[in-house]
Structure 1
Amino acid sequence: MIYLFFLIFSSIRLLFLRYSIKNEKAILANGGREYGAKVSFLLAIVHTIIYFSAFFEGIVRKVSLDTVSMIGLLLIGFSYSVLVYIIHLLGKLWTVKLMVASDHVYVDHWLFKKIEHPNYFLNIIPELIGIILFFHAWLTGIIGLPIYMVILMLRIREENEVNKQFKEEI
């Protein structure tokens, strides 16, 4: 059962990544620009390591579906739902990388006004915590989450700087 859930989680993540890559190519082809490529790369690597580490830790712990796993599953479901909504709001501008399209339009939806960086705080962080809870991957959480948070703070700084520059140009 644990293998099936890992396959489902990974497949969903890969579908989102595929959509992101499509948007990235279109943005670059139309004169857009990527920022913070090194941090994006580190986030992707650590995100992937957390996924696989949690999965393998779950195998070692012989995890079965229990209350903790179900809470993790709910968090994962919540995070994917938020991601779908954010993708809906941003459309062709949504990528996992920090990019600005040549025809970029600032999206001033209430979600972005009330929660700065909702993709990070309502999608990515709950997703990773959910994965860790689902697989009872305590060691992965203790080691992986702090590392991820440091890199995410760098990303948020970069994104804030890019947003500041972008808003000044409008």
Structure 2
Amino acid sequence: MVVILLLMVALQRLVELMIAERNKKWILKNGGYEVGRSHYRYLVLLHSSFLLFLLLEVIIFQKEFAPWWYVPFSLFMIAQAGRVWAIHSLGEFWNTRIMILPGAKVITKGPYQFIRHPNYVIVMLEILALPLIFQAYWTAALFTILNGLILSKRIKIEEMALRNHTNYEEVFSERKRFIPTTDSLEND
């Protein structure tokens, strides 16, 4: 079962990379550019390694479904719905890379009306929940930490570029990065 689920996740990631490439071309064509390129390879390595390590931990240590598998599976499925919502909300601006289009108005619909970085919350949830379905605790712990380290660098780069070239600061100054505030829930 783990192989089927991981193949589905890998296929989903490949489709997302195709969407990201299409959107990248659109942004570049319209005068945009990429920032943070140097860390992107580490992000790709992290996500590729995550699936491999999860598979290896399950196979080598003969992990099975957790007795409470439905809890992390439900969280994983909620994350998938959130992923589709975030991608749809950003439209041509969604990307796996940090693509900046100077002068663009930042998107404030969908999950972005509540927090600055819903897509990163979704990734964090996936990296934690998917291994827990199979009791792969080492993978969950290791990749949650590694993802946090990469995101701490990536978010700083992304936010600086957005502040310098869009209306990001004006729109998101009162919103938290990962947790909705009562103001974002009431005002938007």
Q: TM-score, normalised by structure 2?
A: 0.80
Match runs of 1:102-121 below 5 Å: 104-109=104-109, 111-121=111-121
One-letter identity of the residue aligned with 2:64: S
Match of 2:40 in 1: 40
Task: Report the Cα offset of residue 102 of structure 1.
Answer: 5.4
Q: CA, structure 1 residues 86+110, in 2 after alignment: closer, same or farther (shift >3 Å)?
A: closer
Query: Identity over aligned residues, as a percent?
Result: 24
Letter in structure 2 aligned against 1:37: R
Task: List alignment gaps of at least 5 residues for structure 2.
Answer: 171-188
- Provide the aligned C-alpha RMSD in A: 2.2
Mapped to 1, the partners of 2:48 and 2:26 lie a distance apart of 25
- For the Cα contact (< 8 Å) 2:85–2:111, is it kept in 1? no
Contact 1:57 1:135 in 2 (8 A): no
Q: Look up the equivalent residue of 1:55 and give its one-letter code.
A: L
1:128 equivalent in structure 2: 127
Structure 2 residue aligned with 1:99:
99
Looking at structure 1, the residues matched to 71 and 103 of structure 2 have their Cα atoms a distance apart, in angstroms, of 41
1:164 maps to a residue whose letter is R
State the Cα deviation string for residues 89-124 of structure 1 (Å, max 9, x = none): 110110011001357332123732431211111x11
Question: Secondary structure of the equivalent of 1:90?
Answer: helix
1:9 matched to which residue of 2?
9
| SS in structure 1 of the partner of residue 7 of structure 2 | helix
**Pairs within 5 Å for 1:47-86:** 47-86=47-86
Three-state SS of the structure 2 residue aligned to 1:34 is strand
2:66–2:132 CA contact under 8 A, matched in 1? no
- Kindly tell me: are residues 151 and 103 of structure 1, through their superposed partners in 2, closer, same or farther at Cα, counting changes over 3 Å? same
Aligned mates of 1:13, 1:61 — CA distance in 2: 26
Task: Say which SS state the counterpart of residue 21 (structure 2) adopts.
Answer: helix
Number of residue pairs aligned between Structure 1 and Structure 2: 169
Q: Secondary structure at the match of 1:107?
A: coil
**Of 140-149 and 160-169, the range deviating more from structure 2:** 160-169
Return the structure number with greater relative CO, CA threshold 8 A, min gap 6: 1
Q: Determine helix, strand or coil for the equivalent of 2:104.
A: coil
Q: Which moved more, 1:100-109 or 1:142-151?
A: 100-109
Aligned to 2:145: 146
Change (3 A) 1:68 1:16: farther
Scaled by the length of structure 1, what TM-score is found?
Answer: 0.87
**1-structure distance, mates of 2:110, 2:90:** 13
- 8 Å CA contact retained: 2:106, 2:167: no
Distance in 2 (alpha carbons) for counterparts of 1:23 and 1:168? 20
Per the TM alignment, residue 138 of structure 1 is displaced from its structure 2 partner at its CA by 1.6
Change (3 A) 1:65 1:143: closer
Local SS of the residue matching 1:63: coil
